[in-house]
Amino acid sequence: GAGVSQSPSNKVTEKGKDVELRCDPISGHTALYWYRQSLGQGLEFLIYFQGNSAPDKSGLPSDRFSAERTGGSVSTLTIQRTQQEDSAVYLCASRTGEGVAGAFFGQGTRLTVV
Amino acid sequence: SQQGEEDPQALSIQEGENATMNCSYKTSINNLQWYRQNSGRGLVHLILIRSNEREKHSGRLRVTLDTSKKSSSLLITASRAADTASYFCATDLSGNTPLVFGKGTRLSVIA
């Protein structure tokens, strides 16, 4: 596609359930980022991929959070045993690997844990 | 802690006025970027300034970078109601590290 695509756009889940969020980056972009944003707040870094490897997982808030990227393309962020504090907008971004270009963001997935 | 911190947190101006937002950061950077966010969803990249540049222009946007003070500013000239959004700075430490965002400045332009 022309831009970064995230699905679903909105997700309501019950506390304790697992959720999977998907990110389809721009074709050819080797770098992929996941961020979390609570209402009215800044972007909290979660994880970064360069190709299929994740050199920086330092932002994952707990071991309930995991992410993978396959084929240097699609990435999924999985949250196990969701808690109410996981409610936020999850944003994905991609960019070329050269590091002198801006990142392109998807529209995010709004996760609500009830 | 956040690498970039924007100032002010919120700014309200009249249409036609200029808006200035500032960003301070803590460590050496490869480049600094400014983004805009409408309605709490995806961010849009506005402009990138490299560590060896001091000023950059793009349309009504003017960005300055002072690496000695570890600070940057974003100036929007002749603001319009459509400029109402949140603006974030993001620092890029190297080509292979994540972008680190500040908490943003919420700009309201009143028609």
Q: Which of B42, B95, B101 sits opposite A98 (nearest CB)?
A: B95
pLDDT-wise least confident of A95-99, B13-17, B32-36, B103-107:
A95-99
Asked if B98 and A56 come within 8 Å (Cβ–Cβ), the reply is yes
- Tell me how many residue pairs between chain A and chain B have CB atoms under 8 A apart: 70
DSSP-based three-state secondary structure for A16? coil
What is the number of other CB atoms lying within 10 angstroms of the CB of residue A74? 14
Asked if B99 and A93 come within 8 Å (Cβ–Cβ), the reply is yes
The nearest CA of chain A is from the CA of B15 a distance in Å of 23
Using alpha carbons, select from B27, B29, B13, B28 the residue that is nearest to residue B75.
Answer: B13
Determine the residue of chain B that is closest to A58 in CA distance: B98
* Gap between the Cα atoms of B41 and B56, Å rounded: 26
What average pLDDT does chain A have?
93
Q: Are B62 and B78 in contact (CB under 8 A)?
A: no
B77-100, pLDDT tens digit by residue? 999 999 999 999 999 887 667 888
- The per-residue pLDDT for A109 is 97
pLDDT at B52 over 70: yes
Q: Does B103 touch chain A (CB under 8 A)?
A: yes
Using alpha carbons, select from A109, A76, A42, A40 the residue that is nearest to residue B91.
Answer: A42
A16-74, pLDDT tens digit by residue? 999 999 999 999 999 999 999 998 888 999 999 988 888 888 899 999 999 999 888 99
Residues from A in contact with B at Cβ < 8 Å? 4, 31, 33, 35, 37, 39-43, 45, 48, 50, 55-56, 59, 89, 91, 93, 97-108
The nearest CA of chain A is from the CA of B104 a distance in Å of 6
Within 13 Å and on the Cβ side, how many CA atoms surround B94?
3
